[in-house]
């Protein structure tokens, strides 16, 4: 029981980190970035190359992965999404899917479809023994990382000038521009942060589930997106809550109900929540203007 | 007087577009039949004919939701899946009970597939259509995944007492010894008799086009489009928003189910995994690239994009990469102001010339 609880929170924390990236981008650019899951995959491969091929020390490998993803995220934003700033949301969605295919197939060409076994990059953290239960180093790292990231992001959006600009852009792009905020730069920074988080999520995800293939990011991506919606997309604590809930639900469904049906149960829960609270658990209510 | 004239010209324009769509399908049929009779059609292309028909039909169905009703659905592969598996079960069960005529079995399978998908559409539509925008999209995605997951656990068999179902394994179906298993959980439907034909696909395509075009140009269709353009104004004019959204959604689900039945009966094995999120996205890509709300564009885009990966087979590893790049470039190009105005200028010129003549 306790074991499942810990596994669930650990899995949920990974979802939470990915969901934070989704939520940031959605809150500011109002777009569903379906390529986010594939940025995670690229982050995993980048860390793998730096750590296992080139033999860099772990912190350097992780930093390298964050760097690669940040640059990648900004490039994607600049090349694919920026020309569509004024297009319909559907056009942006399809472009995001195009980017997702692109990244997957690039990875397929560079690293082939053979699974790579990912080294545990966070094993330097000691595991804790609590009587019958052992909390692994990956679990500790994942939970710690997600909490730190959430606090840092909240502080960033509440206290810094850039964070204030982000909130302004997410509320009203036009008015923000009139107040002298550089909207394009703000969106670019948002993508950079989101993609950097994706790299960390990639390293943690691959440390916990050590097979790395070009489609590694797809399913966690979709589930994290579900988590973001569950918690109320656009809300930072919502993403965290949604991620943890989803992870717990998935683990317990797998343990007590059925392995095959666990995904169906997770998605079913999302539907129930959205019927009761149409904008998610911590989402803002949308008032309609006529 | 002037008003009346423009109204008339609009109507004739609508029916002109309608005939154009029938014409394209007819032309497609004639060209393929000629190519087939002369034997110039390659084997891979021949195998693609029925999937092309199915994808065109399901793309037309999705266009009804995305283009006409203005809601984004990311789970249409789920309806296709329901249609495919119920079609396979019906066809198998009829054959088991000694009903040999393949044409009748195919028709029954398609009708039943459409019917069951419509019921699923109603069940899903009730909660889904209360939501808006991106939330609606994510819930349809969730339903698509749920349908895939449930079908992955479903076992169906037939014996002289009728159909048997189980969600655990084959043994729990309590079938008589001479019974036949039709669906085997994750392995999907096995040993399906391939009774779908190209002619049947074309006929179904005609029927679907007829249904959609008449729906769009009817009172109901105008109500649906009014809701799409301005929900609040439509509601204020006395249009029952939920009812008309439901009509569009359920019709679309039924058509997708019919397409699924056609698709399922074209392969000897079919797995639930075939109809996942990626398939839903593929169908959405057909609709968006063809032009949202544009039936002619949808038909052409679905046909071309189904064939394209097959034609690019010699490039192997690079084909999906090329596909992705084309997708991004087309989206950027079609949403670029300059290219758009060029396009408009070109077309408005053509219109003027037509008027002069």
Reported as a single tens digit per residue, the pLDDT across A72-107 is 999 999 999 888 888 887 888 889 989 998 999 899
Out of A117-121, B107-111, B303-307, give the one with best mean pLDDT.
Answer: B107-111
Report the residue of chain A nearest B134, measured CA to CA.
A32
Q: What pLDDT, on a 0 to 100 scale, did the predictor assign at position B1?
A: 42
Q: Given a cut of 60, is residue A164 above it in pLDDT?
A: yes
d(CA A160, CA A152): 11
- Alpha-carbon dihedral sign for residues B221, B281, B141, A232: negative
> What residues make up the domain containing B123?
2-356
Q: What pLDDT, on a 0 to 100 scale, did the predictor assign at position B307?
A: 83
d(CA B80, CA B73): 13
Percent pLDDT > 90 in chain A is 34
Contacts of A281 in chain B (CB under 8 A): none
Residue A195 placed within a domain: yes
Q: What pLDDT, on a 0 to 100 scale, did the predictor assign at position B60?
A: 94
CB within 8 Å: B324 and A275: no
Q: What pLDDT, on a 0 to 100 scale, did the predictor assign at position B349?
A: 57
Q: What pLDDT, on a 0 to 100 scale, did the predictor assign at position A94?
A: 85
> What residues make up the domain containing A83?
2-217
CB within 8 Å: A222 and B288: no
**Between residues A287 and B236, which one has the greater pLDDT?**
B236
Total tally of structural domains belonging to chain A: 1
Place of tokens 């009761």: A276
**Between residues B261 and A51, which one has the greater pLDDT?**
B261
Q: What is the pTM of this model?
A: 0.85
**Between residues B103 and B131, which one has the greater pLDDT?**
B103
Total tally of structural domains belonging to chain B: 1
Q: What pLDDT, on a 0 to 100 scale, did the predictor assign at position A56?
A: 84
Residue A259 placed within a domain: no
Residue A54 placed within a domain: yes
Q: What pLDDT, on a 0 to 100 scale, did the predictor assign at position B350?
A: 54
CB B239 within 8 A of CB B262: no
Among candidates B66, B142, B321 on the partner chain, residue whose Cβ is nearest the Cβ of A105:
B321
Contacts of B334 in chain A (CB under 8 A): 91
Residue A266 placed within a domain: no
Q: Given a cut of 90, is residue B111 above it in pLDDT?
A: yes
CB A91 within 8 A of CB B331: yes
In tens, the pLDDT along B287-310 reads 988 888 888 999 999 998 888 777
Torsions phi, psi for B317 (to 5 deg): -60, -25
Residues 180 through 199 of chain B touching chain A, CB cutoff 8 Å: 186
CB within 8 Å: B332 and A80: yes
Secondary structure E strands in chain B: 155-159, 162-166, 180-184
CB within 8 Å: B335 and A91: yes
Residue A39 placed within a domain: yes
Residue A257 placed within a domain: no
Residue A275 placed within a domain: no
d(CA A200, CA A193): 11
In tens, the pLDDT along B132-166 reads 777 888 889 899 999 998 898 888 888 877 788 88
In tens, the pLDDT along A252-282 reads 998 888 888 888 898 998 888 888 887 888 8
* Lateral strand order in the sheet of B180-184: B162-166, B155-159, B180-184
CB atoms closer than 10 angstroms to residue B314: 7
Contacts of B332 in chain A (CB under 8 A): 80, 83-84, 95
As a whole number of Å, the end-to-end CA separation of chain B is 22
Q: What pLDDT, on a 0 to 100 scale, did the predictor assign at position B213?
A: 92
**d(CA B188, nearest CA chain A) in Å:** 14
CB within 8 Å: B324 and A258: no
Q: Which of B31, B56, B50, B51 is nearest to B41 (CA)?
A: B31
Report the residue of chain B nearest A288, measured CA to CA.
B232
CB B185 within 8 A of CB B154: yes
Q: Given a cut of 50, is residue B2 above it in pLDDT?
A: no
Residue A243 placed within a domain: no
């Amino acid at each position: 029981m306790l074991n499942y609880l810990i596994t669930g929170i650990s899995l949920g924390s990974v979802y939470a980190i990915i969901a934070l990236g989704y939520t940031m981008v959605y809150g500011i650019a109002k777009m569903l970035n379906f390529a986010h899951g594939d940025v995670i995959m690229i982050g995993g491969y980048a860390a793998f190359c730096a750590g296992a091929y080139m033999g860099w020390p772990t912190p350097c490998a992780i930093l390298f992965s964050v760097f690669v993803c940040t640059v990648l995220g900004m490039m994607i934003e600049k090349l694919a999404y920026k020309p569509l700033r004024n297009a319909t949301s559907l056009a942006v969605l399809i472009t995001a899917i195009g980017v997702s295919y692109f990244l997957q197939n690039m990875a397929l060409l560079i690293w082939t479809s053979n699974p790579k076994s990912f080294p545990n990059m966070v094993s330097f953290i000691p595991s804790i023994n609590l009587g019958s239960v052992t909390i692994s180093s990956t679990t500790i790292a994942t939970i710690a990382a997600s909490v730190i990231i959430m606090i840092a992001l909240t502080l960033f959006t509440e206290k810094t000038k850039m964070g204030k600009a982000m909130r302004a852009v997410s509320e009203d792009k036009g008015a923000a521009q009139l107040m002298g905020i550089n909207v394009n730069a703000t969106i670019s920074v948002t993508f950079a942060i989101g993609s950097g988080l994706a790299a960390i999520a990639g390293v943690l995800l691959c440390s916990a589930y050590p097979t790395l293939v070009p489609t590694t990011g797809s399913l966690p991506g979709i589930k994290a997106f579900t988590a973001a919606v569950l918690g109320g997309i656009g809300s930072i604590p919502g993403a965290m809550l949604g991620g943890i809930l989803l992870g717990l639900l998935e683990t317990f469904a797998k343990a007590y109900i059925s392995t095959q049906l666990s995904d169906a149960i997770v998605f079913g829960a999302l539907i129930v929540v959205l019927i009761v609270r149409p904008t998610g658990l911590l989402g803002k209510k949308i008032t309609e203007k006529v | 007087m002037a008003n009346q004239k423009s109204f008339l010209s609009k109507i004739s324009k609508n029916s002109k577009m309608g005939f154009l769509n029938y014409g394209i399908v007819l032309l497609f049929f004639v060209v393929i039949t000629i190519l087939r009779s002369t034997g110039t059609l390659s084997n891979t292309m021949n195998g693609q004919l029925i999937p092309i028909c199915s994808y065109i039909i399901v793309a037309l169905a999705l266009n009804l939701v995305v283009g006409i009703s203005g809601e984004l659905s990311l789970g249409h592969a789920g309806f296709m899946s329901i249609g495919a598996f119920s079609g396979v079960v019906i066809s198998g069960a009829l054959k088991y009970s000694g009903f040999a005529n393949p044409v009748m079995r195919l028709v029954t399978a398609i009708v039943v597939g459409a019917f069951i998908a419509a019921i699923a559409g109603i069940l899903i539509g009730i909660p889904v259509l209360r939501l808006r925008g991106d939330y609606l999209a994510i819930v349809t995605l969730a339903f698509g995944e749920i349908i895939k997951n449930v079908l992955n656990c479903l076992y169906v068999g037939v014996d002289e007492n009728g159909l048997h179902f189980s969600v655990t394994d084959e043994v729990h179906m309590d079938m008589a010894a001479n019974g036949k298993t039709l669906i085997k959980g994750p392995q999907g439907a096995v040993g399906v008799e391939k009774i779908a034909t190209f002619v049947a696909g074309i006929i179904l395509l005609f029927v679907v086009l007829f249904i959609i075009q008449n729906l769009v140009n009817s009172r109901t269709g105008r109500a649906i489009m009014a809701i799409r353009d301005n929900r609040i104004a439509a509601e204020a004019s006395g249009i029952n928003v939920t009812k008309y959204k439901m009509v569009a959604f359920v019709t679309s689900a039924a058509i997708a189910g019919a397409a699924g039945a056609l698709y399922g009966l074209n392969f000897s094995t079919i797995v639930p995994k075939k109809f996942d999120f990626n398939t839903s996205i593929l169908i959405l890509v057909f609709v968006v690239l063809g032009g949202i709300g544009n039936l002619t564009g949808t038909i052409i885009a679905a046909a071309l994009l189904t064939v394209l990966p097959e034609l690019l087979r010699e490039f192997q590893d690079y084909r999906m990469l090329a596909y992705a790049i084309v997708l991004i470039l087309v989206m950027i190009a079609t949403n670029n102001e300059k290219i758009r105005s060029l396009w408009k200028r070109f077309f408005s010129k053509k219109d003027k010339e037509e008027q002069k003549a």
